[in-house]
Structure 1
Amino acid sequence: MRFVKHPDSYRVRVATAEDAPLLLSLLREFAEYQGLGQYMRATEPRLREALAAQPPMLRGALVEGPDGVVGFASYTVDFMPWVDSRVLRLDDLYVRQSARGLGLGLALMRHLAEVGSAEGVSVRWEMYPDNDSARAFYKRLGATSGEKTVFRWAPEVMREFLKE
């Protein structure tokens, strides 16, 4: 499988705490792209802290090209008692529209596969059910999907629940 159409022009690198402003910008761009900008709560200081923590609370990979950073993946490594193992949880994967079709999403997934393989963990992620292009992309990688539904419990909703 070919990963990057112009391998000399692009590289994937690990995000550091110094990349917090750049990562925040990309996260906001991705949230707007998904129509979810109003839900984005990330802040630069918190991202910097999460990336710098030991062990990291947040990890990231950035794709750099001739025009700067054009994509990212953000992820965590957590313990799942159900499988009695740590797992790499991909949170977001995004490549700017201008850089799509160059194999950069594949390059980011390759980075995740390298991290997962090196740490002996599987990789898990969520996606919106109506995102057919993402589903096809992940299936081409050999990934399988489950039937689990993900629920979210926002802090303000929990506070209301606790008042009852």
Structure 2
Amino acid sequence: MNTPPDIVLRPARRDDVPTLLALIRALAEYEKLAHQVEADEPALAATLFGERPCAEVVIAETDGEAAGFALFFHNYSTFLARPGLYLEDLFVQPRFRGHGIGRRLMVHLAQLALARGCGRFEWSVLDWNAPAIGFYRGLGAIGMDGWTVQRVDGDALRRLAATPG
């Protein structure tokens, strides 16, 4: 693997919000989900860098340009009685792929998970994304057979919230 020596990983800052939004839109385009992107700069600034940040972001730069990012947050395992690290998004811009940037981001997050006492590092991947699944298997990840992701959003979320308890 030809890894350029000038890859720098760093925590995102508030002034990275426009870059983050562009990367999120590029990820959504790749995943064929661009129509679902509602994020905008004010919302990202508030939720990532406001009074109560909801997630953290690591940016991978090469020659000062954002090559990719990983957005993650903590969850909790009741079975382990320990926090976990959940990777929401990992994306490397196409022109920077094949240089080990994705691997560097994943290794960084695994190290961060251990340093923070996490018992797990997990994420979801689209079932059609064979390149990503192969990449993750190469890192030692295993699929969680028997589990499916469940979601309530939009009108269904509002209806559920309005249901008498």
TM-score normalised by length of structure 1: 0.88
Correspondence list, 1:13-162, <5 A: 13-53=10-50, 56-66=53-63, 68-121=65-118, 122-147=120-145, 148-160=147-159, 162=162
In structure 1, distance between residues paired with 2:116 and 2:133: 25
* Structure 1, unpaired ranges of 5+: none
In structure 2, distance between residues paired with 1:24 and 1:82: 35
In structure 1, distance between residues paired with 2:157 and 2:55: 24
Q: Which stretches of structure 1, 4 residues or longer, exceed 6 Å deviation after superposition?
A: none
Encode CA deviations 1:14-59: one digit per residue, 9 max, x unaligned.
Answer: 1122211211110011101111011012121221122224663110
8 A Cα contact 1:11 1:63, kept in partner: yes
- SS of 1:86's equivalent in the other structure is strand
Q: Counterpart of 1:33 in structure 2: which amino acid?
A: Y
Identity across matched positions, percent = 32
Deviation at 1:112, TM superposition (A): 0.5
Q: Counterpart of 2:154 in structure 1: which amino acid?
A: P
Deviation at 1:129, TM superposition (A): 1.4
Matched length: 161
Encode CA deviations 1:103-148: one digit per residue, 9 max, x unaligned.
Answer: 1100110110121111011211000112111111111111122121
TM-score normalised by length of structure 2: 0.88
